[in-house]
Amino acid sequence: MARRALITGITGQDGSYLAEYLLGQGYEVWGLARGQANPRVSRLRKLLADVQVVRGDLLDQGSLISAVERVQPDEVYNLGAISFVPMSWEQAELTAEVTGMGVLRMLEAIRVCSGVSRGSAASGQIRFYQASSSEMFGQVSETPQTERTAFHPRSPYGVAKAYGHFLTQNYRESYGMYAVSGILFNHESPRRGAEFVTRKVSLGVARIKLGLDTELRLGNLEARRDWGFAGDYVRAMHLMLQAGTPEDYVIGTGRMKSVRELVQAAFAAASLDWEQYVVTDQALHRPAEVDLLCADPKKAQVQLGWEPTMPFDELVATMVEADLRLLSNGGDPDQDSSWP
């Protein structure tokens, strides 16, 4: 019988790549989607008709229990979150509820549905993946960051992720559950939300190239990130749940670039000079910035055999080309119109 996976955050970037990957591996894939008429579900269905959808919300414990009872998954991937860092200052409580407490609700749903209690054997149980984030490192104490680097989150989002991370570890230790966290560094693709800097830049470049805009307004150009391709990172999620023992892993490329270098690469991909178009705006700076993030993914390379495949320049060029195609064909990224 096909193995069954339940993915929260199915309508997001990673949900789509993970669903695509697991379907290719022969899984029966179920996605948890919220709302009574979520337009992003139809976008997903256009891309991946074989994904089955179950309604539920990380804010609603009962809905998660019902989803687990209905799907009877072998693996649960908790990707659902308020994931945009600036929004976490504007809606800190909601971020704590969805991104933090949502992890508790999902773990409880699994625990209750598999009859796990303190001291009970937890063999043959549902395996759980938590989408932890390099944002937990925040103001970094060392570079590159490993599984042992201390956390110093710099946003309500980072704090909520740290709660989810420690809780996942705690359920593993308290109940013997197979529950792991992937500490993923920034990963991008043509399906990335338009609010994140890589996609904001690739869309901005495409608009300027097509004569639809004359400038691109950005915040801090000096921040540095370790950017990889989302398609590579979902393979790591799956590998973590196939390992003999449940452990946490850092996933990233080990290479750091600044936002300025991202901008240069993106404009160069469209044969444009970025300095003619980019305007910096103090209003887009954050109350507390994460200045740099750089992964040491050695543990995942050695223990899981995981490797990233797409270099930074290729990733950026791929995103610019995809947005040139999207806009040339009349697509509207703000309307969640379609996914490449």
Separation of alpha carbons 312 and 317, rounded Å: 9
Separation of alpha carbons 15 and 31, rounded Å: 8
The reply on whether position 9 binds ligand G4F by CB under 6 A is no
Catalytic residue, candidates 88, 133, 181, 202: 133
Closest CA to 151 of 293, 261, 280: 293
Helix (H, G, I), strand (E, B) or coil at 258: strand
Query: What residues from 71 to 110 belong to the interface with ligand NAP (CB under 6 A)?
Result: 79-83, 98
Closest CA to 12 of 75, 71, 79: 79
Separation of alpha carbons 278 and 250, rounded Å: 33
State the nearest-atom distance from the C-beta of 100 to ligand NAP, in Å: 11
The reply on whether position 57 binds ligand NAP by CB under 6 A is yes
Query: What residues from 278 to 297 belong to the interface with ligand G4F (CB under 6 A)?
Result: 284, 286, 289-290, 293
Residue 150 per-residue DSSP state: P
Q: Which lies closer to ligand NAP via its Cβ, residue 83 or residue 208? A: 83
Catalytic residue, candidates 28, 75, 135, 188: 135
Separation of alpha carbons 262 and 268, rounded Å: 10
Q: Which two tokens stand for residue 237?
A: 């999620």
Among 34, 127, 165, 200, binds ligand G4F (CB under 6 A): 200
State the nearest-atom distance from the C-beta of 13 to ligand NAP, in Å: 4
- Residue 174 to residues 19, 110, 111, 240, Cα–Cα distance (Å): 30, 14, 11, 20
The reply on whether position 165 binds ligand G4F by CB under 6 A is no
State the nearest-atom distance from the C-beta of 171 to ligand NAP, in Å: 17
Beta strands 187-188 and 216-218, pairing class? unpaired
Helix (H, G, I), strand (E, B) or coil at 229: strand
42 is catalytic: no
Q: What is the largest CA-CA distance in the chain?
A: 65
Among 14, 57, 74, 135, binds ligand G4F (CB under 6 A): 135
Q: Kindly write out the interface string for residues 107-136 of this chain, putting x where it contacts ligand NAP by CB under 6 A and - elsewhere.
A: ------------------------x-x---
Closest CA to 63 of 3, 96, 95, 106: 106
- Please name the residues in contact with 245: beta carbons below 8 A apart, sequence gap of 6 or more: none
Q: Is 231 left (phi over 0), alpha (psi -120 to 50) or beta?
A: alpha
Separation of alpha carbons 322 and 70, rounded Å: 37
Q: Which two tokens stand for residue 34?
A: 């919220």
The reply on whether position 11 binds ligand G4F by CB under 6 A is no
By a kind-dependent CB cut-off of 5 to 8 A, residue 180 interacts, out of ligand G4F, ligand NAP, none, with: none
Catalytic residue, candidates 17, 77, 129, 157: 157
The reply on whether position 9 binds ligand NAP by CB under 6 A is yes
Among 16, 130, 186, 264, binds ligand G4F (CB under 6 A): 186
Among 85, 162, 236, 256, binds ligand G4F (CB under 6 A): 85
Q: Kindly write out the interface string for residues 223-252 of this chain, putting x where it contacts ligand NAP by CB under 6 A and - elsewhere.
A: ------------------------------
Which are the catalytic amino acids?
133, 135, 157
Provide the binding-site residues for ligand NAP, judged by CB under 6 A: 8-15, 34-35, 38, 40, 57-59, 79-83, 98, 131, 133, 184, 186-187, 193
Provide the binding-site residues for ligand G4F, judged by CB under 6 A: 83, 85, 133-135, 185-186, 195-197, 200, 218-220, 223, 225, 259, 284, 286, 289-290, 293
